Structure 1
Amino acid sequence: MKVKICGITDLDTALAAIECGADALGFVFAESKRRITIEHAKKIIRLLPEDLLKIGVFVNEQKETIEKIVEDTGINAIQLHGDESPDECTGFSTPVIKAISIGTAKDLLKVDNYGCEYLLLDSPKGKYRGGNGTAFDWSVAAGHRVKGKKVILAGGLTAENVSKAIGMIHPYMVDVSSGVELDGKKDKGKIKRFIDEVKGRKRNGNLHYAR
């Protein structure tokens, strides 16, 4: 099971997350309390492993702007977290992750309209388009299989509930931001506990498995 730590704003946290076993890091270029500048993201990304998935998060941004940020920063995947249509999610130079807000089972009907390699299932928007710390009703998506796409699960995940969520949704990757924060800042201990839970690592002599 793969893990994405989203809302990275400093190199120390990025390196700590990688050391704990993170497979992907997210950099938010949209309105958010975790928003990062292009220049700062570039400085961090150039010091990260080349094969790490470095994801830029955008909301209703112009394609030309996104491609310029990809070129300037070195991100190697983009997450479109706004109202982008299926057509607006095509033709990019990097893999695309389309975020879908899940409120009811009807929202799952949207997923087949997108030809992206990845689909991210998230809770309905709050103040921001993501990272609000609320989970959607996982039972809505339980048993729903998306053919030909890698599903990423986000929204209100923590070390305490992620195993249950994985068992119900069986995603390709889980995505966490506020669930590994303390007082609004990324917490290394919470990051480690979350990743350990997902990866099924030994703790206190007991083996924890995440399905």
Structure 2
Amino acid sequence: MKIKVCGLFREQDIDYVNILKPSFIGFVFAKSKREVKPSFARILKSKLNDSIKAIGVFVNSDIDFILNLIDSNVISLIQLHGDENNDFIENLKSKRNIIIIKAIKVNSVESILKSRDSLADFLLFDNLKGGSGESFNWDYLSQAQKRGFKREYFLAGGLNVDNIQQALSLKPYCVDISGGLETNGIKDFNKMKSFIYKVRGIHNE
């Protein structure tokens, strides 16, 4: 089971993940309380353990801005969280051989089924307000799976130690957490440790 810790913006956050070693971390390059500037993201990435892949999170960003972060080795994967369509994804893929994750705002079973046509390598299912710490109705996902949805996906939105067992029953490729690991707006090592250990414990049962 893959784990992504999103919204890192302090050197101390990097220290935490280097100890706990999730599969992925996320740098947010969009207006957000967790936004990180490219110059500082480069510093953070230089301190990141090589076994952890950095994902850049973008919202309707200019393609050259994204390409610059790829070429400067700040990020290894791209997460598109805005209105980016298949034309944008195809254009990006034609320029760089990189894995793309497309975030889908879930408000119905149909919103999940419709996402099957995305050219992204992975989908990421989140609520209508990404980063709010609230989950969407996971029944939509289980219903979509019963109707033949089989794509690999990241599950985000409102995850925490209390609901992670239910989340894992939906068999995501990766669980993506940010606010659920914070105290007063910053990453909390003990919350991060508890969550990651619980995911690994459930997965290894």
TM-score by length of 2: 0.90
The one-letter code matched in structure 1 to 2:49 is P
Task: Name whichever structure is richer in helix by fraction.
Answer: 2
The one-letter code matched in structure 1 to 2:107 is G
Deviation, 1:209, is 5.1
Deviation, 1:210, is 7.0
- Pair 1:100 & 2:125 matched: no
CA distance in structure 2 between the partners assigned to 1:210 and 1:139 by the alignment: 25
The answer to whether the 8 A contact 1:39-1:73 is kept is no
Other structure's SS at 1:141 match: helix
The aligned residue for residue 196 of structure 2 is 195
Map 1:9-48 onto structure 2 (within 5 A): 9-48=9-48
CA RMSD of aligned residues (A): 1.7
CA distance in structure 1 between the partners assigned to 2:43 and 2:9 by the alignment: 11
The answer to whether the 8 A contact 1:197-1:210 is kept is no
The aligned residue for residue 110 of structure 1 is 114
Deviation, 1:146, is 4.2
CA distance in structure 2 between the partners assigned to 1:47 and 1:62 by the alignment: 27
Residue identity over aligned pairs, in percent, reads 35
Segment of structure 1 superposing worse, 57-66 or 14-23: 14-23
The aligned residue for residue 178 of structure 2 is 177
Deviation, 1:69, is 2.0
Alignment: residue pair count = 198
CA distance in structure 2 between the partners assigned to 1:141 and 1:185 by the alignment: 30
Other structure's SS at 2:132 match: coil
Map 1:109-148 onto structure 2 (within 5 A): 109-125=113-129, 130-142=130-142, 144=145, 146-147=149-150
CA distance in structure 1 between the partners assigned to 2:119 and 2:161 by the alignment: 31
- Runs of 4 or more consecutive aligned structure 1 residues displaced over 3 Å after TM superposition: 208-211
CA deviation profile, 1:8-54 (whole Å, cap 9, x unmatched): 00222123123223110000000100000101000111222334210
The answer to whether the 8 A contact 1:166-1:210 is kept is no
Give the counterpart of 1:157 among 156, 159, 162: 159
The one-letter code matched in structure 1 to 2:117 is N
